[in-house]
Structure 1
Amino acid sequence: MSDLRQELLAAFGIEHQEHLAAIRAALDAAAQGQPYDLRDVFRRAHSLKGAARAVDLPVVEEMAHRLEAVFSRVGEGALALDAASIAAVQQGLDGIEGYVAALSLGSAAPPPLAAQQALEGLLNGEAAPAPAPTAAAARPPEATAPV
């Protein structure tokens, strides 16, 4: 691997962690019924997609594209950010993180198929049903800014 490629991947490693942390924080807020900035979450997924494209990581780029689609549908009201969808998004984030970690160690990482399938299933309406909400959790989380 060239020195430039290593530098780009190192920079991507830092940037992607920041994006994943911000998305996870928003998911945690949503899971607790707290407000979160949906526009920021969408932008983070979009920026992750662009950064992955810049360093030629098509697996991460495609997964970030799926995350964008999820957050776009949430903003449109076509998809609820409920326990099942949060779990699928978390699985996607974990897949991205594991894939990039394996690449940073220099190993040929297989694509995170389960994570890809979780996001694809969510987009196709195939996510597992969420557990029955309690009375306090029955109201959906409010987004502070629509997409």
Structure 2
Amino acid sequence: MPGTFSQIYIQVVFAVKGRENLIDRRWKDELHKYISGIITNKGQKSIIVNGVSDHIHVFVGLKPSMAISDLVRDIKNNSTNFINDKKLIKGKFSWQEGYGAFSYAHSQIDQVYNYILNQEQHHRGKTFKEEYLEFLTKFDIEFNEEYLFDWIE
């Protein structure tokens, strides 16, 4: 019986609602592990999850049976419930609507992994907005700034 074979590597980037700095160093590793678990439980390959206080990068090996939008929806919904149920912040946590999804070749896995691994260092010199606009430009994605994230200036 023939099977389906694929190599689809996607980096997904999404932000905290209002780009508030709500992801605390004390529990961010636990959140990243939880998000990785969501990905694995959906039958996908979690390569790395990391980020800083206002946004997350997720790098996955995606099977063609899973739509990126469904996976991101499930990551956001379940991780929001995780943060709120554990009362990790005062008030109610939520992710901002939307996300960026960027595809890579197998030969780029190490490069993307290391980029995501070093997010804290990377963001000492670059804001999330600068990083995100760089991704959109690098991947030649047309966009209207009106429909991007709500930026805190």
TM-score, normalisation: structure 2: 0.32
- If each structure's helix is expressed as a fraction of its own residues, which one has the higher value? 1
TM-score, normalisation: structure 1: 0.33
- If each structure's strand is expressed as a fraction of its own residues, which one has the higher value? 2
